[in-house]
């Protein structure tokens, strides 16, 4: 079976490598995936593929794993990388419009489904050692700097607020260039930087990591899979967040979940500190007339 210009050569290679190990139903699913254009495949759920192939969603998920992927989300993510690099953003948005249609109830259902897929995929990527390392680093810090580049400023600000509410001293910035340089003058060796950045390994990211490390600060990078591989040995800890290739759900959803995990983990390991911070917050709110 040949891959076309709109289908995935990567998937074809996986199929050729593993086809002999597939059952009859798994083979049906695999062949269906191989003939499906990537700009269609990335919007398909396991349930929809199961209906199209007369199988079950469990069979679809099992087929993705038999083909050498961790599951359907990774299959879609890896097979669509070439499309993401070569297809202009405007064209990708047009593809999204065609795939979702304009039935708002159906669109809402698709977005909820994609959000669940992103969170589940991120849960599967959690590395226990990296999580314990990151929490320990935060606990020992003087100030936690939460930095977010571009749209990643949103989870960075969420992380700073969540950590502050459990008793950590935090600062936050979404700045870049000269403005960020001015802010980072205040960094000290006992500070920790939690850096949120999803995808592209831009020159500014490299510079920030190099400069922060040179000061002696520890860096926790919250990022996607590709940046994880590029920076695993360059920072103190890497926590991986996954989005969805369809872009119907934001990477920030997963990053915010990671921020909540970090803050709550600090709280449960430092309960008196967290309770004292909660009391101070409640007292401050009461003074400005806000009920807790």
Task: Per residue of the chain (292 residues), give pLDDT as tens.
Answer: 444 445 578 888 899 999 889 999 999 999 999 888 888 888 888 888 999 999 998 999 999 999 998 888 888 888 877 776 666 777 777 878 888 888 899 889 889 988 998 898 899 889 999 999 999 999 999 999 999 988 899 999 999 999 999 999 999 988 877 787 787 788 888 999 999 998 777 777 887 888 888 888 899 999 988 888 888 888 999 999 988 877 888 899 999 999 999 999 999 999 999 999 999 988 888 888 766 5
Give the contacts of 91 (CB within 8 A, at least 6 positions apart): none
Q: Is 240 helix (H, G, I), strand (E, B) or coil?
A: strand
Q: Is 52 helix (H, G, I), strand (E, B) or coil?
A: helix
Does residue 213 contact residue 164 with C-beta atoms inside 8 Å? no
Q: Which domains does the chain have, with CATH numbers?
A: 9-92 (1.10.10.10), 125-287 (3.40.50.10490)
Q: Is 123 helix (H, G, I), strand (E, B) or coil?
A: helix
Supply the pLDDT for residue 264: 98
pTM of the model: 0.83
Supply the pLDDT for residue 3: 46
C-alpha distances in Å from residue 23, one per residue of 47, 55, 168, 205, 278: 19, 12, 53, 45, 56
Per-residue tokens: 140: 């020992």
Does residue 286 contact residue 280 with C-beta atoms inside 8 Å? no
Torsion sign (Cα): 105, 106, 108, 112: positive
Return the H-helix or E-strand segment holding 101.
none
Supply the pLDDT for residue 202: 76
Supply the pLDDT for residue 227: 86
- DSSP assignment of 261-289: HHHHHHHHHSHHHHHHHHHHHHHHHHHTT
Q: For residues 230 and 74, what is the distance between their CA atoms, to the nearest angstrom?
A: 18
Torsion sign (Cα): 100, 104, 105, 108: positive
CA atoms within 13 A on the CB side of 146: 25
Supply the pLDDT for residue 2: 47
Supply the pLDDT for residue 7: 59
């Amino acid at each position: 079976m040949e891959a076309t210009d709109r289908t995935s050569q990567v998937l074809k290679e996986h199929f050729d490598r593993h086809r002999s190990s597939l059952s009859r139903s798994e083979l049906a699913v695999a062949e269906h995936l191989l003939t499906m254009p990537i700009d269609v495949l990335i919007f398909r759920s396991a349930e929809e593929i199961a209906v199209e192939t007369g199988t079950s969603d469990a069979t679809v998920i099992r087929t993705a794993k038999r083909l050498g992927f961790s599951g359907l989300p990774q299959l879609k993510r890896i097979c669509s990388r070439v499309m993401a690099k070569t297809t202009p953003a405007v064209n990708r948005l047009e593809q999204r419009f065609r795939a979702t249609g304009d039935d708002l109830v159906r669109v809402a259902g698709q977005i909820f489904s994609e959000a669940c897929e992103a969170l589940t995929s991120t849960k599967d990527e959690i590395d226990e050692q990296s999580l314990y390392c990151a929490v320990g680093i935060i606990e020992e810090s003087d100030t936690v700097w939460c930095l977010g580049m571009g749209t990643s400023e949103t989870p960075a600000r969420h992380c700073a607020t969540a950590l502050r509410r459990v008793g950590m001293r935090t600062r936050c910035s979404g700045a870049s260039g000269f403005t960020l340089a001015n802010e980072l003058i205040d960094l000290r060796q006992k500070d920790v930087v939690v850096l949120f950045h999803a995808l592209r390994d831009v020159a500014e990211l490299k510079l920030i990591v190099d400069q922060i490390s040179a000061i002696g600060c520890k860096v926790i990078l919250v990022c996607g899979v590709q940046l994880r591989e590029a920076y695993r040995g360059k920072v103190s800890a890497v926590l991986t967040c996954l989005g969805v290739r369809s872009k119907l759900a934001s990477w920030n959803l997963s990053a915010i979940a990671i921020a909540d995990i970090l803050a709550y983990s600090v709280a449960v390991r430092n309960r008196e500190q967290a309770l004292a911070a909660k009391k101070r917050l409640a007292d401050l709110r009461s003074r400005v007339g806000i009920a807790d």
